[in-house]
Amino acid sequence: MPGALWPRFLCLLLLLFFALPGAADDRAMLERVQALLYERASALGDEVVIEISPPSARLGECENPTPFLPNPEAELRSRVSVGVRCGEDGRQVRYLQASVEMVGSYVEMARRVERGQPLSEKDLTLARGNLARLPGGTVIALEDAIGQHATRPLAPGQTLQKHHVQSPRLVYRGDSVQVEASGTGFRVHREGEAIDEGGMGDSVRVRLPDRLILEGKVLGPGRVAVDI
């Protein structure tokens, strides 16, 4: 096959089962599980290797297999459990174990940064490795780190994680802020006191002069929008 026709991502699926009755159904199930994992993993790494453990023969056939991730919001790790609903009504559920490798780029510190310091491109570098084995919340794109402020001292060579940075503070606890509320045909502004601190888009609580506490999102320096 010409090289131009190869997919951008490499995916190796190892089917570790013998020729048993119902092997065709097993193959369909494994292919769908592989496709689900590949879709998630290929968005992160540029080289993906997936190994799926074989289904147990004692579980019988799985008609119309529909795979799902028990916790779809969780990060994809090197060992993952995948659920498969079987049958037309999907009431039968079985679980397969898989290992995933996602080789790609992630962000490391290029030099030391102190707490509160904004990160510049010179402070960061891209490293390469198996993303599934990195600490949870690893930052994989430079643009997600540049301009953020360090929440702690960061050393050269340290893998950057999301909790290591925060957006620049635009509202601080105790600040007087403008509270904006809007709806169909109206817009209201009131003054309040920030109970929390936050950056652009962060949720913060605000206490109004009548002691009512509202939660809203930071719009800018000293500005918070609330829904009413």
CATH of the domain at 153: 3.90.1210.10
Do residues 50 and 11 lie in contact, with contact meaning Cβ atoms separated by under 8 Å? yes
Residues spanned by the domain of 17: 3-102
pLDDT digits (tens, 9 = 90+) for 65-116: 999 999 988 888 899 999 999 988 878 899 999 999 999 999 999 999 999 9
Mean pLDDT of 33-37: 94
One domain, residues 112 and 98 = no
One domain, residues 43 and 122 = no
Question: Would you give the distance in Å from CA 93 to the centre of its chain?
Answer: 26
Say if 190 falls within a structural domain: yes
Cα(83)–Cα(117) distance, integer angstroms: 44
Residue 5 pLDDT > 50? no
Q: Which has the closest alpha carbon to 44: 132, 112, 123, 150?
A: 132
Tell me the pairing of strands 223-226 and 176-183.
parallel
User: CA distances (Å), 217 to each of 114, 208, 211, in order?
Assistant: 28, 15, 19
Regarding pTM above 0.85, the answer is no
Last residue within a domain, chosen from 114, 138, 166:
166
One domain, residues 125 and 141 = yes
